[in-house]
Structure 1
Amino acid sequence: MEMPRLLDGRLKLRHLVLVDTLTEQGSVVGAAAALHVTQPVVTRGLHDLEAILGVPLYERGPRGITPTEFGTAFTEHARAVLAQLTHAARHVVEIADATRGRVVAGIHLAGSNLLLPRAIAHLKEDHPLVTVVVREGTPESLLVELTAGRVDVIVGRLSGPGTEDTRRRALYQESIRVVAGAHHPLAARGNVSLEDLAEFPWIVPGTETVLRQELESLFAQHGLDLPANRVEATSFLTVRQLLTETAMVAALPGLLGMDDPRLVTLPTPLENIGHSVGLTLAAGRRLNPATQALIESLHTVAAQIEDA
């Protein structure tokens, strides 16, 4: 095929925004709602973009659209361009007023109760006018946000080495504990086996997470199925409330709820389940001053947590 001419004036910025949104939403209806336009506008824009590129970007199905190989590749490049434009605008603002800035931190369960809050407080001591935006989500959704430039840094569990698009920095090691409400029937027991816990309802992370897979493997090693009576949740506020008001149990990072008198750690060994907590950054992207300052605060607080 001939090389598409993307600089002849036909390709618009709105086309990049469109393909980013279509891939994220997985449907024309969802993309139209997210962009606050009608479905015909989205369909027409997609047809225009496919005509410019000369390839199909999505396969249509009864449940929505799925990116083709071309669509996946073009989405990655579109997100990279949008991310660079976002950071260019912020860089100009920061040059105009060096005392101000903005950093968007993505967070999932690990690091959400101590590391990030303390790092933000540490940052604010020296940079009171820097705005910190915290976005909670699953690791997968946050990676999409990071790639698209809508998140500057992700704080949480490091499930593996960096990729072509990301780089990771470990901050400290954290174990996983079984946690329950202080009123739980097993709270006073000196030894609680996994078999004992299988009789109670569980709060578990989503199927796409590494911790969920590790829990399923652990139960299988003991000849058990993951309890059918379960709730899937990653919001610590939701998890904590369920633990304090019900007989549910959850496998959580050790620092979560450590100083909460309403929660107890049950003496149940979780063999070989632990992880590194750290940062995930976009590879090759220049860090703005606000992001760099937050990263420095995260390193400082992580060292304090390890010492403690």
Structure 2
Amino acid sequence: MDQSLLVFIAVAEEQSFTRAAEALHMTQPAVSQHIQSLEAALGTKLLDRSSKYVRLNKAGDIVYRHAKEMSGLHTKMQRLLDDLLHTASGTLSIGASFTFGEYVLPHTIACLRARYPLITPTITIGNTKDIAALVAARQLDIGIVEGALPEQDKLKCEPFAKDLMYVVVGAGHPYAKRQDIEAEELLGEHWIVREEGSGTRTATEKMFEQYGIRPLNRMAFGSTQIIKESVEAGLGISLLSEWAVRKEISLGTLNRLTIAGQPVERDFSIITLRDTFHTKAAELFIEMVRTREGMPQQPT
């Protein structure tokens, strides 16, 4: 890949010629020369510079986004070529939404590392919307998310497992000793939900719609852990995956409830770019996920 583009990416991310030079083990004049050459070749300035800051202008933002995609493609090309000659190795960038990423993925990664020690995974945790965007932008090789994704031409979405979700209440809640509840009993409760873009938030909204529940009192938090702590503290109730609350259920600090005898179901799905080659490391990981190898047993 063109060296000037790599230097430009570093300057854009560090927002400093000096820090970019340090990161690239280059001199600052050499960094400046690469940027000048790139701007001359493209016929436009890419950076707004002052004594206090270095920032992308509109043209620079366009070049940065495409340069990052090109860098990702170049790295993947090298890894694919390496795979032809060597055993599975190299980096593997995996993104996962919070429920799978925090409560299931570590077990799969442990199994992957035990079987293929030359593969070095990097993990990004975010909500479903953000993980999908990173896969589409080639910043992640694979995404694992909960819930359905809107149809996208660039992404392939493959469901591989069911996730069971329950209404959860704290040990001091009036419903703490119950196993089942009717939907109308939930109308007056204070609900604690995830932020917009979260797969858990989407499942909660679908559940509200299915049962005709329109809670007047709700709070949105950006972390499942904060929601669990808040429910334990008696701030409200929530809808969470059984994977996320299995320890608290076993300890008795939370209680799970079905609605009219049924849990809420959603899919765990693998998302990848359509019509793209996968490295050997990615293929092995995807197959492990499909067969649930290394995953703990579904909570009961």
> Aligned pair in 2 of structure 1 residues 173, 133: CA closer, same or farther (>3 Å)?
same
Matched, 1:285 2:280: no
Number of residue equivalences: 280
Distance 2:45 2:93 in 1: 34
Write out per-residue CA displacement over residues 111-139 of structure 1, whole angstroms, 9 at most, x where no aligned residue.
23554233223323422343222221122
Quick one: which amino acid aligns to residue 206 of structure 1?
E
Write out per-residue CA displacement over residues 68-96 of structure 1, whole angstroms, 9 at most, x where no aligned residue.
7x888766643431211222344466667
Write out per-residue CA displacement over residues 186-234 of structure 1, whole angstroms, 9 at most, x where no aligned residue.
211353545546433x33111233543554465473343352xx24123
Write out aligned runs for 1:58-207 (5 A).
77-91=66-80, 98=87, 100-112=89-101, 115-160=104-149, 163-189=152-178, 190-191=180-181, 193=183, 195-196=185-186, 198-200=188-190, 202-207=191-196
> Aligned pair in 2 of structure 1 residues 32, 73: CA closer, same or farther (>3 Å)?
closer
> Aligned pair in 2 of structure 1 residues 271, 136: CA closer, same or farther (>3 Å)?
same
Matched, 1:248 2:236: yes
Distance 2:46 2:101 in 1: 37
Distance 1:169 1:252 in 2: 22
Write out per-residue CA displacement over residues 238-272 of structure 1, whole angstroms, 9 at most, x where no aligned residue.
43333334443221224332354133212335999
Residue number in structure 2 paired with 1:12 = 5
Distance 1:226 1:48 in 2: 58
> Aligned pair in 2 of structure 1 residues 10, 108: CA closer, same or farther (>3 Å)?
closer
Matched, 1:297 2:288: yes
Quick one: which amino acid aligns to residue 236 of structure 2?
M
Residue number in structure 1 paired with 2:15 = 32
The alignment partner of 2:255 has SS state of strand
Greater shift after overlay, 277-286 or 179-188? Answer: 179-188
Write out per-residue CA displacement over residues 35-76 of structure 1, whole angstroms, 9 at most, x where no aligned residue.
9469xxxxxx99997886578999xxxxxx9997x8887666
State the 1:289 CA deviation: 1.7
TM-score by length of 2: 0.68
Quick one: which amino acid aligns to residue 237 of structure 2?
V
State the 1:109 CA deviation: 2.8
Give the unaligned 5+ runs of structure 2.
22-33, 48-54
The alignment partner of 1:256 has SS state of helix
Distance 2:38 2:245 in 1: 50
Quick one: which amino acid aligns to residue 106 of structure 1?
G
Distance 1:276 1:122 in 2: 22
> Aligned pair in 2 of structure 1 residues 164, 16: CA closer, same or farther (>3 Å)?
farther
> Aligned pair in 2 of structure 1 residues 55, 300: CA closer, same or farther (>3 Å)?
same
State the 1:161 CA deviation: 5.6
Greater shift after overlay, 106-115 or 280-289? Answer: 106-115
Quick one: which amino acid aligns to residue 276 of structure 2?
R
Distance 1:274 1:46 in 2: 52
TM-score by length of 1: 0.67
